[in-house]
Structure 1
Amino acid sequence: MNDWNNWLDEYYAKFKPAFDPAVYANLVAFRDLAVDVRERKAKLIFAGNGASASISSHGRVDFTKQGKVRSLDFNEPNLITAFSNDYGYENWVARALEAFADEGDVCVFISVSGTSPNIVKAAEYAKSNGLQVVTFTGKSLDNPLKALGDINFWMDSSAYNVVEAVHMMWLTTVVDMLIGKAEYSVS
């Protein structure tokens, strides 16, 4: 038992950077941007790979349902496979943006490494087309996705599960900030 207690103490210490008050400014900035998107009737567009795709889907639903900010993600298998087949995997998210993004939309890209070619190329497309970009990354501070963001959430960890859990926490924190409280009915 003692060995696991020490292990758990060390494990949960990895989450400490997520609660640094330096993150608060980004949380407020993203909340304000989401309010602006909602008021302009634009939309948030979420994308990621693997677990980051799942976090994207969860974020999209919560921002739409609870936060009342129109949102979408690109996690439809038919879309992924058709666009990947026709345009190459590294280009499919950028091509989906080309098809679905409107002026004034904001892209939310999630990638632990910040080096996923399809997500980085999507961020490059977004920036070159005047779309704002919010990034959620980890691992290296100097990752290419973070370099393209207008608002950047970076978790100082190389532990995928830690970074992914923190990304989810930060996203849902912003949803709760839109509502103004942490406990509320979701029905």
Structure 2
Amino acid sequence: MGNMVLDMEGEFFKLAKKILSKPKNLYKVFAISPHTGRVTVMGADNFMVVGSSVLRQFSRGKEDRAYRTGYKCGREMFGSLVKEFDEEVKTQGPRKLMDLGLPLMTNTGWGDLELVSINVSRGEVTVKGERTIELGYSRAAHHMLTCGLLSGIVSRAFEKEARGEVVKAGKDSVLFRITAA
């Protein structure tokens, strides 16, 4: 009988991808529908719906408040997943953690988020967003809620504080750059 080597990193990654493909299986989910403006927060024993007027406040209100709210949501939501798989996550690098974090946010309704590039040594991540919350509102003044959300994910992936910016905003997509320092 030969030695069987178990690739824990690969197995963890497959398991996490499976969980993320069905966000209803997550213990905590914060989902936003850009089409209806419905926000759903679920935990072990709560359920809350926030109307579209609240989302409009974030997309038209003060940029720093929207950014801070998004940042906290990103850190806490992705942090729940990271905490759940604490031992396995310690061996993952920022690139693989971003490969887990972006699908989590996409599958919970934050928009279609795609990793464009990542430079681990510089701590720089570029993400393209389509159908984001702000793009769902024709009169959104900025994209800082989603920018903050992505910065929160990057801060967890790199285990450093992160700061994001909107590089380019168009009618159908937004390009974000987030730097962990």
TM-score (norm 2): 0.31
Higher fraction of helix: 1
Higher fraction of strand: 2
TM-score (norm 1): 0.31
